[in-house]
Amino acid sequence: MNDNKDIVYEIDNIIYTLHDNFSATVIGNTLCRVVDLDIPGRITYNQVEYIVEEIGQQAFKQCKYIDYTILPSSIKKVFSEAFMESTITYLDFTQIVELHKVQIFEKICSDCVRLKGVRLAAGIFELPDRGFYNCVRLEEINTPSGLIKIKSNCFYNCKNLKHFDFTNDIAEIDDKAFYMTSINYSEIGYRVEKLGSEVFGANDNLSTLVIFNKKIIPPADFIPNTHRVTVYIKEKKESDRAKQIMAQLSNNHFYVVDDFNLLEKRGIKFLSFELDVARAVGYNESNLDPNTKIVETIGGSPVTDFQSGFLKYSQKITSCTFPKSIKRIKGRCFEGCKNLKQITFRHDISQQEANWVVSEENVEIVIAAHE
């Protein structure tokens, strides 16, 4: 690229740099009223078409006039502080349907206090340092397929973020990546090679942690010690590694050591234990069926119980059916499930017990144990 040939061009209150390879970079704006921002994938200057491939550094920093923002399918890079401290409420990458690598740089949406949702596209392999730092209203973000790294302080103080889909490709979670969030379920997958300090620190809402990785020994301060967290550790009970991890846990925590398998069916995550029983422990929102039917068996083992709160905060679920194989129940499984309408129990359960499991108003409870 020869910078001397670059042209600065403004159209529809967006300022571009036009490059001699017929690509364009958004470098600024002259917006003066609030808009839903739909950045075009192509612009024309002097009858020549340019492809919009980049959002430049600080292009919309402190902009007070953007709301719902859609990025075009042509975008390959979003540079640092592109939307920092702006009024953006929703950032949508999902126009990117063809798989190509998309890089997003540090502080892309740092201190965007009105940001509520982000939809990421496949091809985003890394979530950057302080990417969504202090986005206190952020409550919805999907996990793009192929995501590998979550850098330090990425979701620091996103205190309204209550769920994140932990996928199998994640290999690195850096220092304080989810510090001061409200995530209920967390997971250290088998591909994780690096786990930073205080990753889930200062989170009073964390209730379940699955350590499926058999190599990592988490830092002593990676989860809060102020309240009970149920920690599942994949390991042989008498191994030195299991003892070392348990020694680092607070007396407040409850831990289960077992050489379990972590399995997923219809978006529900299960642990299949050595004693040939299985437990539902969490969910992957992207794969969850709105009309969820929990399977009776998984990996050859009967599903006999479920972790308290295992479906908390799902925005997708509208109904849930428990199988006949359930032997034990736990409470408050559906807190924050705003679209939930009906729960069906196909195992023996009293009305009082069913009310304890659901604990939400305006949800129909159906007990059909003998049908």
What's the rounded mean pLDDT across residues 56-64?
A: 98
Residue 127: its pLDDT value, please?
98
In degrees, to the nearest 5, what angle opens at C-alpha 163 toward C-alphas 159 and 164?
Answer: 110
What are the pLDDT digits (tens) for 308-355?
999 999 999 999 999 999 999 888 899 999 999 999 999 999 999 999
Q: Is 314 exposed, middle or buried (0-12, 13-18, 19+ CB in 10 A)?
A: buried
What's the rounded mean pLDDT across residues 90-117?
A: 93
Residue 4: its pLDDT value, please?
59
DSSP helix, strand, coil percent of the chain (3-state; round to 5): 5, 30, 65
Residue 371: its pLDDT value, please?
66
What's the rounded mean pLDDT across residues 157-163?
A: 98
Percentage of the chain exceeding pLDDT 90: 91
Beta bridge partners of 141: 118
Tokens of 144: 């793009």
Kindly report the pTM of this predicted structure: 0.95
pLDDT category at 102 given cuts 50, 70, 90 is very high
Residue 359: its pLDDT value, please?
87
Residue 250: its pLDDT value, please?
86
* Amino acid occupying residue 106: E
Q: How far is CA 198 from CA 109, 178, 219, 220, in A?
A: 22, 8, 8, 8
Which position has the higher pLDDT, 226 or 27? Answer: 27
Which position has the higher pLDDT, 359 or 261? Answer: 261
- DSSP sequence for 242-291: HHHHHHHS-TT-EEEEE--EEEEETTEEEEE-TTS-EEEEEE-GGG--SE
Tokens of 276: 């040939």
What are the pLDDT digits (tens) for 198-256?
999 999 999 999 999 999 999 989 999 889 999 999 999 899 999 999 998 888 899 99
Whether pLDDT at 369 is above 90:
no
What's the rounded mean pLDDT across residues 47-67?
A: 98
Q: Sign of the C-alpha dihedral, residues 34, 35, 41, 43?
A: negative
Whether pLDDT at 1 is above 80:
no
What's the rounded mean pLDDT across residues 122-145?
A: 96
Average pLDDT, the chain: 95
Side-chain-side CA neighbours of 107 within 13 Å: the count stands at 14
| Euclidean distance between CA atoms 268 and 250, whole angstroms | 28
Whether pLDDT at 293 is above 80:
yes
